[in-house]
Amino acid sequence: MKPSKIYILLITCLLSLLLLMAVFPKDGIRISDKFILKFTTLEEFFTPKFMVDISEILKTNSVEDDTLNFSEIQLLDSAYIDSVLVYYKPLEIYVDSVSQFLEFPAGNDSVLNPIFEILSKIKNTNDLIRILHYGDSQIEVDRMTSYIRYKLQSEFGGSGPGFLPAVQTFDFQQPMIQTSSSNWFRYTINPVKDSIIYHQRFGILGTFCKFTPFIALDTLNVDTNKTDVKIFDKNILPEIEKIKYTAWLNFEHSPIVYSNVRIFNQCRMFYGYNTEKFTMKVSDGQTIISDELYQPTNLLTIKSITLQKTPQNLKFEFSGSDSPEIYGFAFDSFRGVAVDNIPLRGSSGLIFGNLDFALLQQMYNSLNVKLIILQFGGNRVTFEADKIKSYKNVFKWQLNLLHKIVPNVPIIVIGPGDMSEKEKDEYLTHKNLIPVRDALREAALESNCVFWDMYQAMGGENSMPSWVFSEPALAEKDFIHFTPDGAKIVAKMFYNSFIFEYNKYLNSKN
């Protein structure tokens, strides 16, 4: 074909496309109830794609030079231990540093005063307090939590990765590298409860692990309707053939974490509800730290191990015919702030009503929990409108339940960030994002909780593409999840808003 004919063909195709753009209905042509045929209009074709300018957000919340030598901070903290309680000077967080402020219930801006009071005095006490950061997949792999933990421990003392399950759901490398023998059983309540489990004892992580299989009562011909069974009682259960099981867990430092995570002085194992004795040997390489026999128990039990120095890796070896339910391990310092990362993939934050209240309260109190952060909403965006409306009431019920379980413990609710859905060739804020955000905000403020709007902090409507196409990328190509760099920036925005309110509290005290 001659070049002139090719040129004419291309021009003809282009004019035909332009004509089609001009006459094609803006709302598309409905083919069926579920299918609409759409085509780019002339206005969309010639109008430049809108991108939210987030340059000022990135400039204000740069984390490039936000690193400290944690060992030096630890030495400095020790000089503050004395009998005099003083209020500390406000930290260097000012109005211009806050991208999005915390929102308080109407007429009550003192909701966070209990945690602020504790933080203002913590360097003069021997207290170890705990902050729990619950969330969906947005916080997996310690995203956001790692930076919040690092900054809080840098300012107020404390170290260690916090509370971890015996076996991780996925192959995470943060905050520690966890490996285990292949014969562990992991039981969870999220996204749905394991049908074999007859009780609600899943602990603060919504999961527990055993190195022997859980035996369902119905397989033993036990009528649970007539028997109040808290534990396998030898008087009512038939004799079970006793098989001795062995298993191991290993916790190792990760090379990609902040230095404070690699320092801890104690390990506590939270377990209970085993009908037989078991042994547990704890070792650091070739050095045996502990080797003990543990008795049967139908209570929550805590095994504390003091470490002379932080081991490079800590190995737990178990042996017995009935494993306890292991709810997790707390790797902490003896004082300061511990911050736990609790990701619940696929969750909308509605698990608390399905947990054993007594066990939950015992664990919260034993861990000295002083603040709870709930970061949810992303998994509700794809729901139908009527279910989004009911989400507010159900989430509000969860908040009020937590208030009853741990009174005087403040709760901060973090709403979802911007999420995009593709409309023709553009990525636009999902139509349900704002309704879900509003449902969480209303539930939080009506339940005397604090709300932080991550959507607005990111830049608001259609801001996610700017994060995805940033250099380096700050969000993944799914237009939902942050990259590690993006998570750190969002975490800094949240931390700045939290410390800004802390400063206001100190100024009011002074």
Average pLDDT over residues 201-209: 96
DSSP 396: H
Q: Which fold has domain 56-158+337-510?
A: Rossmann fold (3.40.50)
Confidence of residue 82 (pLDDT cuts 50, 70, 90): very low
- Residue whose pair of structure tokens reads 């307090």 in the numeric block: 129
- Give the per-residue pLDDT at 316: 98
Residue 94 pLDDT exceeds 70: no
Which pLDDT tens digit goes with each residue over 237-276? 445 557 899 999 999 999 989 999 999 999 999 999 999 9
Indicate if 160-334 has the same CATH topology as 56-158+337-510: no
Average pLDDT, the chain: 85
- Give the per-residue pLDDT at 15: 67
Average pLDDT over residues 469-485: 93
Higher pLDDT, 387 or 356: 356
Q: Which fold has domain 160-334?
A: Jelly Rolls (2.60.120)
CB atoms inside a 10 Å sphere around CB 16: 10
- Residue whose pair of structure tokens reads 């004395």 in the numeric block: 82
Which pLDDT tens digit goes with each residue over 183-200? 999 999 988 888 889 999
The pair of three-digit structure tokens given for residue 285, joined into one six-digit string: 């390489």
Query: Whole-angstrom Cα distance, residue 125 to residue 118?
Result: 10
Average pLDDT over residues 322-334: 97
Asked whether the beta carbons of 377 and 441 are under 8 A apart, the reply is: no
Average pLDDT over residues 206-220: 78
Residue 71 pLDDT exceeds 50: no
Which pLDDT tens digit goes with each residue over 162-180? 999 999 988 778 899 999 9
Average pLDDT over residues 154-167: 96
Confidence of residue 54 (pLDDT cuts 50, 70, 90): confident
The pair of three-digit structure tokens given for residue 509, joined into one six-digit string: 């005290």
Share above pLDDT 90 across residues of the chain, in percent, rounded to a whole number: 65
| Weakest-pLDDT range from 420-424, 456-460, 464-468 | 420-424
Confidence of residue 64 (pLDDT cuts 50, 70, 90): low
Higher pLDDT, 206 or 54: 206
Confidence of residue 215 (pLDDT cuts 50, 70, 90): confident
- Domain extents for the chain? 19-48, 56-158+337-510, 160-334
The pair of three-digit structure tokens given for residue 7, joined into one six-digit string: 């040129």
pTM score, whole prediction:
0.85
Asked whether the beta carbons of 437 and 453 are under 8 A apart, the reply is: yes
Residues 448, 452, 453, 456: is their CA dihedral positive or negative?
A: positive
